[in-house]
Structure 1
Amino acid sequence: MHASVLKYFVEVARAGSVRKASEKLFVAASAVNRQILKLEAELGVELFDRLPNGMRLNPAGERMLKHVQKTLHEFQVMRGELDALKGERTGHVKLASMDSFFVDFLPAAVEEFLQVFPAVTYTITSIQPMDVPQRVLSGQVDVGLTFVSRLPPGVVAVALAHMPLGIVMPPGHPLEKFERVSLKECARYPFLRSSSNPVVSSSMSPEFFSFWEDMEPAATCNFTPMLKQLIMAGKGISCFSKIGFAEELRRGDVVWRPFDLPALNDMQVGIVVPAHRVLPHVTQNFVGRLARQLGQIELALSAF
């Protein structure tokens, strides 16, 4: 059987629905469902009970899952042994990223990469967005994920996605009625700040820089999962791009609105690398996969 079919099967079994599995895999739900049906047709037996609220493995599916997990594990072990013999598919990926990418994007990217390059090791660091390009330029890391505006000479963006800053709030918040939110309106409500440092420079948006510096936050916390809980509990609003709240936006747990500042609405996130230094082969491969996933999530989030 093709490896992707097995991967789809495992993810549907884990998620309990084709739709949730497709979101995790960044693949159309119709494609996942088609592969599951094809697998069942090939085996001549149904593997799931189709329920009103999702899919549940039946006894045949439970037996199949054990076989698939064993097969995938043995395949990875064998792949690692072959790689060791060839001296290939090894290496170390050094990456720095702003915090929002750590929520769903980077864990999914690393998990997928490990399926093909199980011997690769990683150093992945969360830092402030404006500090990422300098880490790449200095050679401390090979790859950066951040907001991209004016990059220093010696650093280039190899992939970009439109991901402007906006206000995240719980459903039913008074700011939800606005198509675009002003800083004046934001100042009327408790604000949850992700860092004491502004997320954009004063040259990019003097208005937002002043707002950030002058505010009296209800809380300052650099741990995004905790900020999510506070927002959903109605304790305040916060400032993020959509990429840090992909799952919550899909579920309707939070609402996102853009600012009424053109400079913030034009913002992009991107993958940045050194301009004059050749990256190791395995890192180049990892960057290519990151670029594909960035394009996929940009398209998915455009609906929210």
Structure 2
Amino acid sequence: MEIPHQRLIYFQLTVETGSIRGAAARLDIAPSAVSRQIALLESALDVTLLERRRDGVCPTPEGELLLDYCQRRTLLDRHFSDALDAHQRLETGQITLHVGEGFVGDLINQPLRDFTESHRGVRLKIDTGSTREIIETVVNDEVDIGLMYHEQVHPHLRFWQSTRQPLVLLMSPSHPLARESRAPIALDTLAEYPLALWHSGHGVRELVDLAFREANQRPLVGIQTGSLEVLKHSARAALCLTLLPRFAAARELEEGALVARDLVGKHFTQANAHMVTRVGRRMPRVTLQLLRHLQRWMCAFRCDDVGPGS
């Protein structure tokens, strides 16, 4: 049943002031107008809402039920107004992100910590997945922001930032290739060593498979995994070589636990990191604020053309 909001206001003020004249004075209208609206409300509900007494009016049992409803509705309206105001001031809200696992350290270490400290009411939901999964969830409006690697164009994606992040070969400092010349490593050499690679469907794996396929060669796959930690630990232990963008192993490279070598080939050198949303998706102010913050502070989106010593 739809009850006109204005009639509820007339009824609530009549009960609160104790008389129709009192409500009319608060509303600055004629008492007859208040009386008429309450009569229409009683007719619509098919109940008597007010009991007339010599000193004014008081609610009937049915009127008490309606008064409770009015008070609850007023409280909900106030809560909604306060929540909306807070949201517009960038104080509240939820932002969902679906990211490639290689972005996690770069995302969490500093940028998100700084953002959440200044937006304490904002909740973040972060999941990891393959490039295909990220595209699917962004296009289907299941997430607000996607961070992915390799994909260049898509009709339903808006690319907010695309930054050159070449694939490099990562290995233990004790590996033979780490002690050789720092010249970029050719695919023929790479094919001689076991590799730890992502499962099919991941952006990095698609690049590697494409490069080998065009060279009519096959990679020597030692380990396949969906875990970034497995890839990096396999390389650290000299069990396999692995291929990642530098930002995905920034800490290990800085600490000297891994060594990076550049690779020969356009598929390795022209790879990009991307920040995406769905084309046409309306972005709340707080989400736009996060997008701009990540563009400024994530290494994946501000370290273009990094050199071998980075």
Q: 1:270 to 1:203 in 2, by over 3 A?
A: closer
Superposition map of 1:41-56 within 5 A: none
Corresponding residue number in structure 2 for 1:283: 287
- Deviation for aligned residue 1:299: 6.1
Specify the alignment match of 1:251 in structure 2: 255
What's the CA shift for 1:169?
A: 0.9
Name which one, 1 or 2, has greater alpha-carbon Rg.
Answer: 2
1:237 aligns with 2:236: no
Measure how far apart 1:282 and its partner are.
1.0
| Structure 1 range deviating more: 210-219 or 287-296 | 210-219
| Mapping 1:189-228, distance limit 5 Å | 189-197=193-201, 199=203, 206-208=210-212, 214-228=218-232
Between 290-299 and 184-193, report the one with greater CA deviation.
Answer: 290-299
Secondary structure at the aligned position of 2:248 is classed as helix
Unpaired runs of at least 5, structure 2: 1-81
Per-residue CA deviations over 1:225-269 (Å, capped at 9, x if unaligned) read 233222112111001110111111112221112221113201111
| 1:116 matched residue in structure 2 | 118
Aligned residues of 2:106 and 2:298 also touching (Cα < 8 A):
no
Q: Does 1:90 align with 2:92?
A: yes
Say whether 1:132 aligns with 2:130.
no
Q: What is the number of equivalent residue pairs in this alignment?
A: 222
Given the superposition, is the C-alpha separation of residues 209 and 108 from structure 1 closer, same or farther in structure 2, using an over 3 Å criterion? farther
RMSD: 3.0
Displacement, 1:100? 0.3
Deviates more, 1:157-166 or 1:194-203: 194-203
Equivalent AA in structure 2 for residue 263 of structure 1: H
**Residue aligning to 2:176:** 174
- The TM-score, its normalising length taken from structure 1, stands at 0.64
Q: Which amino acid aligns with 1:270?
A: H
CA contact (8 A) 2:100 2:128 kept: yes
Shift of 1:197: 3.8
In structure 2, C-alpha distance between the alignment counterparts of 1:156 and 1:204, rounded to whole Å: 25
Percent sequence identity over matched residues?
21
> SS in structure 1 opposite 2:264?
coil
TM-superposition CA deviations, 1:25-82 (whole Å, max 9, x none): xxxxxxxxxxxxxxxxxxxxxxxxxxxxxxxxxxxxxxxxxxxxxxxxxxxxxxxxxx
Alpha-carbon separation, structure 2, partners of 1:213 and 1:122: 43
What letter matches 1:102 in structure 2? V
2:303 match: 298
TM-score by length of 2: 0.63
